[in-house]
Amino acid sequence: MLIAESILLTIATAATPLLLAAIGELVVERSGVLNLGVEGMMVMGAVCGFAAAALTGSPWIGMLAAILAGVLFSLLFGFLTLTIATNQVATGLSLTLLGLGLSSMIGEAFVGSPGVKLPTLANGIAEIPLVGQPVAGLLDLLAGIPLIGRVLFAQDPIFYISIALVIGVTWFLFHTRAGLVLRSVGDNHASAHALGTNVIGIRYLAVMFGGACAGLAGGHLSLVYTPQWVENMTAGRGWIALALVVFASWRPLRLLAGAYLFGAVSIGQLHAQALGLGIPSQLLSSLPYLATVLVLVLISRNRRLTMMNTPASLGQPFVPDR
């Protein structure tokens, strides 16, 4: 029972940064923009979040710094692709390379520094005057439920934020007028512009939201998952997040399932190494990326489903009439 609970906890922790980065990219792509710079925004969020937390001693300030770093990088991408109308694919790749290089330079001073770990939800609530202690006590009581207690009630706050974001994005995209407008921009930006929609403004907001989610995902890596700074600690998770969006057919709830599936694969290879199955560790470490390739191959076989859900204007530059 304890082993199963531990595995579920680690899967949830591993899936959270994937889910955060992917849900942000899903909104970006729904607006018709393809941002391949998720990896760069994540690693910048990780290093800036860790640096801010180490300098101030507050993991909350670190998380805010991580979000801000992601937003600033997304604005750079937005300026180049939306204002200047550069190629989105090339710009996104350049953003990733810039993020990896810049994060290495910033993080050099923090290699080996002790991390500042974000507290669990119960510990964070306990610090709130008057109501904190009773609520934290209730959460601790619920965390004692066998198997699922700690998984549901003893997580860090970012875990709950990721689930809330999936629910919120689902409601926004499919149950609000603003979500309908965003989807219309992604499906046919020329028609949306003809109807008076501010296509560039909406895409800027979507890109900034994606950057904030990617930065938060990076902050989760350096302040929760492994509270330390290691060069290139995102280790390709940004690319997995991009694949998850396609895997989910641009649907938030499918994205939730996909993120936890990939989280299970990532954790499964670690447990397989611990069991000493005689399989080369390099092969086990590559399993999450092999799973990504396999999923993309399987999805590509059903072109009708893919084309039905793909935003029609995805990756196409838009220059408004002057």
Q: Is the pLDDT assigned to residue 9 strictly greater than 60? A: yes
Percent of the chain at pLDDT above 90?
Answer: 53
Which of 94 and 127 is assigned the larger pLDDT?
A: 94
For residue 203, what pLDDT is reported?
97
Token pair 């793909």: residue: 310
Distance in angstroms (rounded) separating the CA atoms of residues 279 and 277: 6
Cβ density class 257-272: b for 16+ within 10 Å, e for less: ebbbbbbbbbbbbbee
Contact assessment for residue 260 and residue 15, using Cβ atoms and an 8 Å cutoff: yes
- pLDDT at residue 130 tops 60: no
Residue 49 pLDDT more than 90?
Answer: yes
Q: Which domain holds residue 188?
A: 2-118+156-309
- pLDDT (tens digit per residue) in 290-320: 777 777 777 767 666 666 678 988 988 888 8
Considering its fold, how many domains does the chain have in total? 1
Higher pLDDT, 164 or 298: 164
Would residue 213 count as lying in a domain?
yes
Local confidence band at 45 (pLDDT 50, 70, 90 cut-offs): very high
For the ranges 23-37, 63-77, 236-250, 283-297, which has the lowest average pLDDT? 283-297
HSE toward the beta carbon, residue 44, CA cutoff 13 A: 25
- What residue has token string 């609530």? 125
Residue 285 confidence (pLDDT): 67
State how far the Cα of 5 lies from the Cα of 149, in Å rounded to an integer: 9
pLDDT surpasses 90 at 281: no
Of 19-23, 43-47, 231-235, 260-264, the range with the lowest mean pLDDT is: 260-264
DSSP sequence for 282-298: HHHHTHHHHHHHHHHHH
Give a yes or no: residue 259 inside a domain: yes
Whether 238 has a pLDDT exceeding 90, the answer reads: yes
173: CATH? 1.10.3470
275 by Cβ neighbours in 10 Å (0-12 / 13-18 / 19+) ranks as exposed
Q: What is the mean pLDDT of the chain?
A: 86
Q: Is the pLDDT of residue 289 over 80?
A: no
Per mean pLDDT, which range of 49-58, 61-70, 243-252 is the poorest? 243-252
Q: What is the pLDDT of residue 265?
A: 81
pLDDT, one tens digit per residue, over 204-216 is 999 999 999 999 9
The mean pLDDT value for 27-43 works out to: 96
pLDDT tens-digit readout, 218-230? 999 999 998 899 9
Question: Among residues of the chain, what percentage have pLDDT more than 70?
Answer: 84
Q: How far is Cα of residue 147 from the mean position of the Cα atoms in its chain?
A: 26
User: Is 151 a domain residue?
Assistant: no
Q: Is residue 135 part of a domain?
A: no
pLDDT of residue 320: 80
The stretch 244-267 carries a mean pLDDT of 87
Kindly tell me if the per-residue pLDDT of 122 is higher than 60.
yes
**Which range among 40-49, 161-170, 231-240, 284-293 shows the weakest confidence by mean pLDDT?**
284-293
Cβ–Cβ under 8 Å, residues 149 and 139 = no
- Would 285 be classed as within a structural domain? yes
Question: Mean pLDDT, to the nearest integer, of 23-43?
Answer: 96
